[in-house]
Amino acid sequence: MRHFVRLDVNFLLRHASSHDNKNIMKLFTSTKKESKEAQVVATRKKLTGTVVSDKMDKTVVVNVNRYVAHKKYGKYYKIDKHYKAHDENNEYKVGDMVIIEECRPLSKDKNFTVIGKK
């Protein structure tokens, strides 16, 4: 069984020098906004795939292939999935290998933006 130590700000301030007090307060007074922004940027998925369709305005359909091992038998099998991605300038055409990144929902089906070609 693991034992976790709970750090108390007042305890640390009492037993630290005055120079360390400033650093301790910086650690414990980080705002929620800063920590949220750091988490959002760190959790964005990046996928690589081939453009299958570019018929929509400012949208491309990207086919992403994955090889996954079966849980029980261990055999690898292929999974294809289509993602709609935002293409602001309509610059990507069918057959291009692109990198897409997760973003906020832009429409009902569109949650990715195209970063660039691979």
Tens of pLDDT along the chain (118 residues) come to 555 555 555 665 566 666 565 665 665 565 555 555 555 556 899 999 999 999 999 999 999 999 999 999 999 999 999 999 999 999 999 999 999 999 999 999 999 999 999 8
70 in the same domain as 13: no
Residues 50 and 101 in one domain: yes
Q: Are residues 14 and 54 in the same domain?
A: no
pLDDT at residue 101, as a whole number: 97
In a domain, residue 3? The reply is no
* 63 and 37 within one domain: no
108 domain residue, yes or no:
yes
Which domain covers residue 28, as residue numbers?
A: 9-42
Q: What are the E-state strand segments in the chain?
A: 46-53, 59-69, 76-86, 97-102, 110-117
Q: Residue type for 44, please? A: R
Residue 43 pLDDT: 80
Residue 2, in any domain of the structure:
no
- Reported as type and span, the H/E element at residue 36 is helix 32-42
For residue 92, being part of any structural domain is answered with yes
Task: Please answer whether residues 97 and 49 qualify as being in contact, where contact means their C-beta atoms are separated by less than 8 angstroms.
Answer: yes
| Same domain membership, residue 111 and residue 57 | yes
Residue 4 domain-assigned (yes or no): no
User: Domain count of the chain?
Assistant: 2
DSSP, collapsed to helix, strand or coil, labels residue 9 as helix
Q: Examine the domain organization and report whether 111 and 75 are in the same domain.
A: yes
- Inside any domain, residue 33: yes
* pLDDT of amino acid 78: 97
Alpha-carbon span 60 to 100, nearest angstrom: 10
Q: Which of 56, 22, 78, 33 is nearest to 12 (CA)?
A: 22
